[in-house]
Amino acid sequence: MTFVDMLDKLVMYFHYPFVQRAMIAGVLIALCSSLLGVPLVLKRFSFIGDGLSHVAFGALSLSAVLNQVAIALAGTAIEGVLAVFVKNQMLLVMPITMLVAWLLLGATKRNKIMGDASLAMLSVGSLGLGYLIMNKFSSSGNISSDVCSTLFGSTSILTLSDFDLWMCVIMSVVVIAVFVLFYNKIFAVTFDADFATATGTRAGAYNTLIALVTAAVIVLAMNLVGSLLISALVVFPALSAMRIFKSFRSVVTCAAVVSVLSSAVGIVGSILLSTPVGSTIVVVQLVVFIVFSIIGAIKSKG
Amino acid sequence: MITQIDCKDLVLGYEGKPVTSGLTFQVNRGDYLCIVGENGAGKSTLIKALLGLNPPISGTITRAEGLSSNAIGYLPQHTAVQRDFPASVKEIVLSGCVGKKGFHPFYTAAQRETAARQMERLGITHLQNRCYRELSGGQRQRVLLARALCATEEILLLDEPVAGLDPVVTKEMYDIIKQLNDTGVTVIMVSHDIAAAVRYATHILHLSRTPLYFGEKAGYLASDAGRAFTDLSGGESK
């Protein structure tokens, strides 16, 4: 395939609304997760993202149960209510994940997060339960493909509904606004929570805020890369940026740029090479990380 | 004499278990109070209580009017701050201004001016764009001191400010603290370094399960607790 052929193929694909939607959602999700990734990585909360994504997977499986209930109750008023949740799974998954995030980060005492063992328990617990429920209650004929796309996000980014896209846009605007408005507070609380509290900033409240926003981003990111690969979107841009840049502002800016570009390149790449979207993005992020590490090592020696 | 902090019959501890009790002392404007005592005597518990991070089990901490809870500039122990954090000196010093009342998403010109002034005061203006994690121990302490001064110029609470510093830098640090105290900043310092405490402080609080001594320095040197402690540390003086 020559370069011109590839360009033709791209132009053709970008005429399809589903590709345009995937691109918009992908870039926005990448931007949000990279912004949050910086404080999460610095607070040593990287694994929270992973844990929450498994919780989101478990919550998603519940919609299969609701679907069965809705069928059983066909004709009653409840069916209509349930149908809304079955159709727009995010309405169910988002609150559950946010609740768990709040319990994990916000409700426990300041700075005292759940031990890694209990977090691991929560992760595999929801993963196992989620898979069991999906197996038992799913109405779809091809369960393993369903599960696979939830875990690895193989196609779901390309099947976004208008509702999904709008949800994505609104949540992204909220996340970015929170990050910009509370940027200085987030820096102070992340750098030194004790000092921030002592000088009148409510560190606990900001931890809760970060937890809730993280949960929201993770649920959105599930569409893009699937629940197993979400940590990559959160962790990689921050880590890459920290190889080279040395002030908080430059790390945040670089992480955002790296994440948006990797995501765009990953989506385009997956179309051209017919590879799964999520894993392509993650591989691009990994390559960027390696390149940045090398540059960082050369810079610190030279 | 203006009393800035008045502690009465404090019992301090965690989850209802007392670590130290019967604490009564006052801090007046311009004092240089040094808190000494063995490990586990409740020094860090007292700091947390003064900062409002850990409320006392019983007793009262009264602050002077106009001295709100966020008017204590805190210098945490060296280890408490993350060493690999990507942040420039300027960003850290400015973050001392964050606690000011009300919702201000961005730093004001006045706050930037304060930060610049404090950096000048501590002689770190030339480092302002450097990365915190690349600085020496003494430079880091200056940065954190400038941050504390951005929060307030009323009272500084210093937790082991010279831990891990070499003797030359230690001396510099004590001189800086003394200079700040001379310009009217109240200093409360927790220290293991009894020799320095005796040299610089105006008041000493010697903590144990129950406080062994509180009062002016001259009285401390004559007291049993003071004699025992100064004799002890004499053997390891530098």
Q: Is residue A300 part of a domain?
A: no
Question: Please, what's the b/e burial string for B84-110 (b: 16 or more CB within 10 A of its CB; e: otherwise)?
Answer: ebbbbbbbbbbbbbbbbeeeeeebeee
Helices (H), chain A: 3-13, 17-42, 46-72, 77-87, 90-101, 116-137, 143-152, 162-181, 183-191, 193-198, 203-225, 230-244, 248-273, 277-301
Q: Is A147 strand, coil or helix?
A: helix
Picking from B82, B95, B129, the nearest residue to A184 by CB comes out as: B95
Average pLDDT over residues A139-159: 68
Which chain A residues touch B100 with a CB distance below 8 Å?
Answer: 200
Give the strand order in the sheet containing B186-190.
B72-75, B155-159, B186-190, B32-37, B203-207, B213-216
The answer to whether residue B188 neighbours chain A at the CB level (below 8 Å) is: no
Number of domains in chain A: 1
Nearest chain B Cα distance for residue A206, angstroms: 13
Q: Residue B74 in contact with residue B148, Cβ under 8 Å?
A: yes
| pLDDT single digits (tens) B124-157 | 999 999 999 888 888 988 999 999 999 888 889 9
- Looking at residue B63, its amino acid is R
Q: Is residue A302 part of a domain?
A: no
Distance CA B192, CA B174 (A): 13
Q: Do B105 and A181 touch (CB under 8 A)?
A: yes
Distance CA A87, CA A100 (A): 23
Average pLDDT over residues A128-150: 76
Distance CA A133, CA A40 (A): 31
Domain span at residue A254 reads 3-295
The answer to whether residue A109 neighbours chain B at the CB level (below 8 Å) is: no
Give the strand order in the sheet containing B58-63.
B17-28, B3-14, B58-63
Which of A165-169, A198-202, B217-221 shows the highest mean pLDDT?
A: A165-169
Neighbours of A255 (CB within 10 A): 26
Q: Is residue A244 part of a domain?
A: yes
Q: Is residue A264 part of a domain?
A: yes
Q: Residue B146 in contact with residue B128, Cβ under 8 Å?
A: no
Helix (H) or strand (E) holding B207: strand B203-207
Q: Is residue A301 part of a domain?
A: no
Which chain A residues touch B69 with a CB distance below 8 Å?
Answer: 200
The answer to whether residue B51 neighbours chain A at the CB level (below 8 Å) is: yes
Q: Is residue A10 part of a domain?
A: yes
Average pLDDT over residues B7-13: 83
Q: What tokens were used for B230?
A: 């100064």
| pLDDT single digits (tens) A27-47 | 999 999 999 999 988 887 777
Helices (H), B23-130: 43-51, 89-94, 109-121
Q: Is B60 strand, coil or helix?
A: strand
Tell me, what DSSP letter sits at residue A284?
H
Whether A75 has a pLDDT exceeding 90, the answer reads no
In sequence order, the 6+-apart residues with CB closer than 8 A to the CB of B66 are none
Q: Is residue A104 part of a domain?
A: yes
Confidence label for B78 from pLDDT (cuts 50, 70 and 90): low
Q: Which CATH number belongs to the domain containing residue A127 in this structure? A: 1.10.3470.10
Confidence label for B45 from pLDDT (cuts 50, 70 and 90): confident
Q: Is B19 strand, coil or helix?
A: strand
Q: Is residue A241 part of a domain?
A: yes
Asked which of A53-57, A89-93, A272-276, B190-194 is least confident by mean pLDDT, the reply is A89-93
How high is the mean pLDDT of chain A? 83
Q: Which residue do the tokens 């809705």 mark?
A: A70
Whether A139 has a pLDDT exceeding 80, the answer reads no
Q: Is B208 strand, coil or helix?
A: coil
| pLDDT single digits (tens) A81-122 | 777 776 677 778 888 888 888 887 755 554 455 566 777 888
Whether B4 has a pLDDT exceeding 60, the answer reads yes
Whether A49 has a pLDDT exceeding 60, the answer reads yes
Percent of chain A scoring above 70 in pLDDT: 89
Which of B51-60, B66-75, B99-108 shows the highest mean pLDDT?
A: B51-60
Q: Which of residues 182-221 of A touch B (CB under 8 A)?
A: 182-185, 187-188, 191-192, 194-201
Instruction: Given the cut 0.90, state whether the ipTM is greater than it.
Output: no
The per-residue pLDDT for A111 is 45
| pLDDT single digits (tens) A170-195 | 989 999 999 999 999 999 988 988 88
Q: Residue B73 in contact with residue B155, Cβ under 8 Å?
A: yes
Whether B211 has a pLDDT exceeding 70, the answer reads no
Q: What tokens were used for B92?
A: 């850290």
Helix (H) or strand (E) holding B226: helix B224-234
Q: Which residue do the tokens 């369903």 mark?
A: A146
| pLDDT single digits (tens) B86-102 | 999 999 999 988 877 66
